[in-house]
Amino acid sequence: MTVGAGDRRGDKSRGGEPLAAPCVAGGVPRRTAGAGIVGHSAGTAIRRRGVMAGALLSTLPRLGRAADCPALPPPHHGPIFDAAVQAWNPQVQGLLDALPGSGVRRVAWFADSHAGREVTAYVVQAAARAHPDLVVLGAPKIGFIRGGDLPPGYVADTITGVRSGLYRFIGEILYSHADKPDNRPTPGGVVYVDPLAPGTARLLAGIKDHSVPLMTHWEAWNWQRDLPRFDQLYATWPQQIFVLSSLAYGSPDKADRLLSAHPNLWATISHVVDGRYRFVDPAKQAMLGPPMIDDCGTLRPDWRAVLLKYADRLMFASDAHPTGHVGWDVYPHIIGRYRRIAAQLPPAVAQRISWDNAASLYGMR
């Protein structure tokens, strides 16, 4: 059985670097009293003041909304296709149990073998085989790479998995990642993989005859360096669909700049919903965009405009992943939070972002 990158990423000789211990639960992004915890694809949830690394999934802040907040509409009740879910360890049954009651009918799921090693990749593959109408399997995520390029073993395994039909998409590649409070510090405070280095070109050449989306994770804190390079990457491979994780934590104008320039670029909105990310370096933090919702949970007009303009290429993703401290039992809360956000959009737009786009992209209508 092809496992993908699971046995490569922890092998330093092939470019991997072991990840720090999983995050500690308990961080809460501060908005108003009583606000809940929220998900973060790097496993980070924080207090906006008084940083506290922590849990990864959330409830929509409902309790503690100020008395002068406008009433929110009833939650969106349509089906949801969760466009990005991670498995950091082999305990995956909790997610399968949580999906029916949450109204989530499909998930695009990939292992983080860096955290869970190859056994996690095997378990997620088994879940996809057992639930073919529910789980879309992606190649394992790779990150925390040394050397500035994708390891050859990862590239080879991923191409093999795509060509065999095992993987329907390629899970996140961490191209740029600044230190978060719950990650072990890295040399220089960042991990960087050049998207124009030979490894990415070899990977894309190897999958070019297959309609398989590739998730790119990069962060807007070094826009001057990264924008030209990702512009070139996306433009050089116009037939390849790329998925930008969490819109690079950018602002509405940055999201518009990227999506308007590249018709082959799609994106998930999992991170920018409420600004729950936190970087160790305050200068990098200051370069990120504002949350999509205000303290009342209401969509900001500038972000709403982006959602409406690119409703055919944006997808909801929980970016959920349990650790040893936080389990899948909180998954329904992050779905409930999103449903209240989706309810503020025109029904046709909410349907596209919640279901249609991911179903079309992953071929799972």
Tokens at 192, concatenated: 């960087």
Structural domains of the chain in order of their starting residue, each with its CATH number: 5-21+78-361 (3.20.20.140)
pLDDT, tens digit, for every residue of 323-358? Answer: 666 689 889 988 998 999 999 999 999 999 999 999
Phi, psi dihedral angles at 111 (to 5 degrees): -80, 150
pLDDT of residue 356: 98
pLDDT of residue 181: 79
pLDDT, tens digit, for every residue of 122-168? Answer: 999 999 999 999 999 999 999 888 889 999 999 999 999 999 999 99
Burial class (CB in 10 A: 0-12, 13-18, 19+), 267: buried
Burial class (CB in 10 A: 0-12, 13-18, 19+), 2: middle
pLDDT of residue 130: 97
The list of the chain residues with pLDDT below 50 reads 1-63
pLDDT of residue 133: 95
As a three-state string, the secondary structure of 278-321 is CCCCHHHHCCCCCCCECCCCCECHHHHHHHHHCCCCEECCCCEC
Radius of gyration of the chain (CA): 19
pLDDT of residue 184: 77
Which positions ≥6 away from 156 have C-beta within 8 Å? none
Check: CB of residue 10 under 8 Å from CB of residue 140: no
